[in-house]
């Protein structure tokens, strides 16, 4: 019995040590992500939030884009917004797998420059879980995934191709912070037809584009890349397709709360992240 008691005590001590180690690494990882988010916010605050938020009378926008801005800004563009904080929940499929897992995510994005940080927590096999994040700041990207916040299972650093992918990622997410799409910022618009227009983002000597499709009410309902994606990569990158639904008025801005993001190639789409925005905050208002 004494041996059994000592064995149970030893197991309990090991469990405490392992648990404490996991908590320490989780806090350290979250600290890394928080530091990246602060960098995005600080860089956004350093810009002039008033310089590009008004559509110039000389700016000629394609008709569907003009209707879109009338729809998402019913009282005109809000003044002084520099960045957005977005919380999401839904189902996520890891690269080169088929099953979806419940996932929560957080995103901090600048409205005036293509800076953003995205992080997500998702289970793998009980009791294992992973945290993944990617950051695109000042034209340079970094991507990480860790199991239990300790074991790095993916690490991708800045390359021209990944930087272009991250630039497109910021554009793909921009309907959730539509101030970023206004004239005067890094995005310009090109006419396609009565219901579509091409959004082109340029920054740091790179450019990326997506074709937007608009509904009869003016809502941007989808973004699509014009080239196939490479489905063999160990990361999803930006994805090549997104649909946006359930526009809701948040602080005077209509935001699509529902989304489905997918890879696309060969005329087929392969969803990997579907869910809803659970909370969104527009920050940087004067006095706020």
Average pLDDT of 137-141? 94
pLDDT-above-70 percentage for the chain: 79
Q: Is 0.75 topped by the overall pTM? A: yes
Q: Establish if 221 belongs to a structural domain.
A: yes
The verdict on whether omega for the bond into residue 142 sits within 30 degrees of 0, i.e. cis, is no
Contacts of 24 (CB under 8 A, 6+ apart): none
pLDDT at 73: 98
pLDDT class of 131 with cuts at 50, 70, 90? confident
**Comparison of pLDDT for 53 and 133, the residue scoring more:** 133
- Region 24-28: what's the mean pLDDT? 48
- Any domain includes 9: yes
Q: Which residues, 6+ apart, have CB-to-CB distance to 120 below 8 Å?
A: 92, 103, 104, 105, 106, 131, 132, 133
**58 pLDDT higher than 60:** no
Q: 24 φ, ψ to 5°?
A: -60, -45
Please indicate, yes or no, if residue 164 is contained in any of the structural domains: yes
Q: pLDDT tens across 182-232, in order?
A: 999 999 999 999 999 999 999 999 999 999 999 999 999 999 999 999 999
For range 48-74, the mean pLDDT: 76
With a cut of 50, say whether residue 149 has pLDDT above it. no
pLDDT at 13 over 50: no
Please give, one letter per residue, the 3-state secondary structure of the chain. Answer: CHHHHHHHHHHHHHHHHHHHHHHHHHHHHHHHHHHHHHHHHHHHHCCCCCCCCCCCCCCCCCHHHHHHHHHHCCCCCCCCCCEEEEEEEEEECCCCCCCCEEEEEEEEEECCCCCEEEEEEEECCCCCEEEEEEEEECCEEEEEEEECCCEEEEEEECCHHHHHHHHHHHHHHHHHCHHHHCCCCCEEEEECCCCEEEEEEEECCEEEEEEEEECCCCCEEEEECCCCCCCCCCCCCCCCEEEEEEEEEECCEEEEEEEEEEEEECCEEEEEEEEEEEEEEEECCCCC
Has residue 273 been placed in a domain?
yes
Q: Give the domain range for residue 28.
A: 2-283
Give the mean pLDDT of the chain: 85
The span from the CA of 166 to the CA of 1, in Å, is 60
- How buried is residue 196: exposed, middle or buried, by Cβ count under 10 Å (0-12/13-18/19+)? middle
Q: How confident is the model at residue 153 (pLDDT cuts 50, 70, 90)?
A: low
| pLDDT band for position 71 (cuts 50, 70, 90) | very high
Q: Is residue 157 part of a domain?
A: yes
Q: Residue 259's beta-bridge partner residues? A: 244, 275
pLDDT > 90 fraction of the chain, expressed in percent and rounded:
63
pLDDT reading at 105 higher than 80: yes
Question: Is the residue at 288 inside a domain?
Answer: no
Domain total of the chain: 1
Query: Smallest Cα–Cα separation from 84: which of 264, 267, 266, 253?
Result: 253
Q: Which of 142, 143, 146, 105 is nearest to 124 (CA)?
A: 146
Q: What end-to-end distance do the CA atoms of the chain give, in Å?
A: 64
pLDDT at residue 41 tops 90: yes
Place 8 in a pLDDT band, splitting at 50, 70 and 90. Answer: very low
Q: Which pLDDT does position 143 carry in this prediction?
A: 85
259, 274 contact by CB (below 8 A): yes
Residue 24: its pLDDT value, please? Answer: 35
């Amino acid at each position: 019995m004494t041996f059994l008691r000592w064995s149970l005590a030893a197991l309990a001590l090991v469990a405490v040590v392992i648990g404490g180690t996991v908590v320490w690494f989780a806090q350290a990882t979250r600290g890394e992500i928080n530091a990246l988010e602060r960098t995005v916010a600080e860089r956004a605050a350093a810009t002039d939030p008033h310089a590009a938020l008004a559509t110039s009378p000389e700016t000629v926008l394609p008709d569907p884009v003009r209707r879109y801005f009338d729809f998402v800004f019913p009282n005109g563009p809000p003044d002084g917004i520099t960045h957005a904080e977005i919380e999401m929940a839904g189902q996520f499929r890891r690269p080169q797998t088929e099953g979806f897992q419940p996932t929560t995510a957080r995103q901090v994005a600048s409205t005036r420059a293509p800076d953003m940080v995205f992080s997500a927590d998702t289970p793998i096999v009980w009791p294992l879980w992973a945290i993944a994040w990617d950051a695109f700041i000042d034209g340079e990207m970094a991507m990480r995934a860790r199991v239990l916040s300790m074991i790095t299972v993916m690490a991708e650093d800045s390359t021209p191709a990944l930087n272009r992918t991250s630039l497109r990622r910021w554009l793909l997410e921009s309907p959730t912070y539509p101030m970023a799409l206004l004239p005067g910022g890094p995005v310009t618009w090109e006419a396609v037809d009565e219901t579509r227009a091409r959004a082109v983002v340029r920054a740091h000597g790179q450019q990326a584009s997506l074709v937007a499709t608009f509904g009869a009410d003016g809502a941007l309902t989808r973004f699509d890349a014009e080239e196939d994606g490479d489905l063999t990569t160990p990361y999803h990158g930006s994805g090549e397709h997104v649909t946006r639904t359930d526009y809701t008025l948040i602080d005077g801005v209509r935001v699509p709360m529902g989304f489905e993001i997918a890879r696309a190639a060969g005329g087929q789409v392969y969803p990997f992240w579907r869910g809803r925005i659970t909370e969104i905050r527009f920050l940087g208002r004067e006095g706020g």
